[in-house]
Amino acid sequence: MDQKVYDLLDSYREEMTEMLKRWVRIPSVRADAQEGAPFGPDTLRMLQQAGSDAESLGFPVRYFDGYACDITLGTAEEKIAVLGHLDVVPVGDGWTRPPFDAVQEGNRVYGRGTEDDKGPCIAALFAMRAIREAGISLSRRSIRMILGCSEETEWQDMEYYTAHTEMPELGFSPDASFPVINTEKGLLQMLLSFADPASGLRVLELATGDRPNVIPGTCSARFAGGQDLADRIHAWSQRTGLPVSAVVEEGSIRVTADGIPGHAAMPEGRRNAIGMMLSLMKDLGAEGALQTLASAVGMEYDGRSLGIACRDEVSGPLTCNIGILRKDGDCWTATLDCRCPITSDLDALLHTAAEHLPGIDMQVITKKEAHHVPAEGELVSELLAAYEEETGLKGEAVAIGGGTYAKVLKQGVAFGALFPDQEELAHQADEYYDLDSMVKAAKIFANALIRLAQ
């Protein structure tokens, strides 16, 4: 790659850092729609800020009614897409720093959305700027960055975008990790509902979780009972080794389960606090559909007791996460998030899961088929070449359980921006982005875009 591109990207470091802080300070969690703001006012403010920053760098920006914007470099008819998102998941538990203050400590900027996905989007934007300012001609393809606002929920932004303009066929999403992810599992998200059991353990209050795709780190509930029940809870915690506390209040017990939060697609090494609470409630005598849910899901993350455990060589095992559990009067609701191997039949999985949840109504919230791009094609080959040139490491195409905007492209993959030796903190407490890595990712993106567009 032209040395001038390297020098330019190194010189942009401070600008990139300040832009990241601006973006992180906007709490772009999806909220109720308002006029002109389909995903809430903060998400619209984030979209406007990103567009304004791109315009200040000299790029033309098109806005799509609060759903998305795009930023273009070059005039060639065929385009490479760079698909990122500006929305973030709710804060969750366990933060030791303010999640929207963009606190900088050394080379790290802390905050919700730093890694997922604001920092990588900024890296790609400045890669485009360096290509332009280095005077590199893009004769084969132009570059179009598309920034959406509902990736963490239902992807209505991409539906709206594709309905109002042409979506490029080829490109990547900087919303996962390096080297290249050419296989993404299928996604099933289900809403469960059932009546409060008429007998058994009396749960007075429970409301945990904000998103199906987040592993909850804390679950708090209030049970009817006194010291005897609290003693049973303490004994269960000691017996299982799971951290659960019980405090007797007037006429009830406040119970708290402490898990380990994370992303629903990567449950290994995490501990689902809702699953812990379900297992405890079953042991304490929960009956009816609540017992059914505890038996069929509980703390498992492979879908075994739901009858849907499966795997394949390319994409690995199915994962299952219970992300929300709430009691509202006499009605309970819960969500399941399943990441399904590429060879699995989603309809068959849904049918089997429903059979294992008698007495529980199940509605499908999201259903996305798996996505696979052959590793032998131009896109994957050139991205791997760019990664190898910039890092000196051997690249390979891999599979993930997470789902990215790459799925909306005919030839789309996830590419960056987490490096293999870095800790994955998306959807977790104290999420941060390493500034050295941001510049390094920008160089890889520039290299890749030049290879595909020049």
Residue 211 maps to which CATH number?
3.30.70.360
- 362, exposed or middle or buried, with CB in 10 Å at 0-12, 13-18, 19+? middle
Q: 323 with 336, same domain?
A: yes
Query: Whole-number mean pLDDT of the chain?
Result: 97
Q: Are residues 60 and 192 in the same domain?
A: no
The whole-number average pLDDT for the span 11-26 is: 98
Q: Is the pLDDT of residue 193 over 90?
A: yes
In this prediction, residue 401 carries a pLDDT of 87
Question: Is the pLDDT score of 251 beyond 90?
Answer: no
What local confidence, expressed as pLDDT, does residue 362 receive? Answer: 98
Q: 67 pLDDT band (50/70/90 cuts)?
A: very high
Q: Which position has the higher pLDDT, 401 or 180?
A: 180
The answer to whether 81 and 144 are in contact (CB under 8 A) is yes
Examine the fold and report which residue of 368, 384, 401 is the final residue of a domain before the chain moves on: 368
pTM: 0.85
Whether residue 222 is found in the same domain as residue 288: yes
pLDDT in tens, 113-124: 999 999 999 999
* Same domain (yes/no): 198, 331: yes
Mean per-residue pLDDT, 38-45: 98
Q: What is the pLDDT of residue 402?
A: 80
Residues of the chain with pLDDT > 70: what percent?
Answer: 100
Instruction: Specify whether 301 is located in the same domain as 378.
Output: no
Pairing state between β 411-414 and 170-173: parallel
Same domain, 70 and 120: yes
Question: How many structural domains are present in the chain?
Answer: 2
pLDDT of residue 334: 98
* 268 shares a domain with 126: no
Domain check: are 279 and 144 in the same one? no
Among 313, 339, 368, the domain boundary falls at 368
Reported as a single tens digit per residue, the pLDDT across 136-177 is: 999 999 999 999 999 999 999 999 999 999 999 999 999 999
User: In whole angstroms, what is the distance from residue 39 CA to residue 67 CA?
Assistant: 8
* pLDDT recorded at residue 286: 98
Over pLDDT 90: what percentage of the chain? 96
**What is the predicted pLDDT for the residue at 227?**
96
CA 81 – CA 85 distance, rounded (Å): 13
Cα-flanking dihedrals φ and ψ of residue 356, to 5°? -90, 5
| pLDDT beyond 90 at 93 | no
> How remote is the C-alpha of 305 from its chain's centroid?
25
CATH number of the domain enclosing 110: 3.40.630.10
Minimal CA–CA distance to 183: which of 369, 360, 9? 369
Asked if the bond preceding 117 is cis, omega within 30° of 0, the reply is yes
One domain for residues 229 and 358: yes
Last residue in a domain, options 368, 391, 426: 368
Are residue 96 and residue 145 in the same domain, yes or no? yes
pLDDT number for residue 144? 98
Which domain, by its residues, includes 46? 3-184+372-453
pLDDT score of 406: 96
pLDDT at 316 over 90: yes
Coil, strand, or helix at residue 166? Answer: coil
How confident is the model over 405-421, as a mean pLDDT?
Answer: 96
Are 335 and 307 contained in the same domain? Answer: yes
The answer to whether residues 215 and 298 belong to one domain is yes
- In this predicted structure, the answer to whether residue 92 has a pLDDT above a threshold of 90 is no
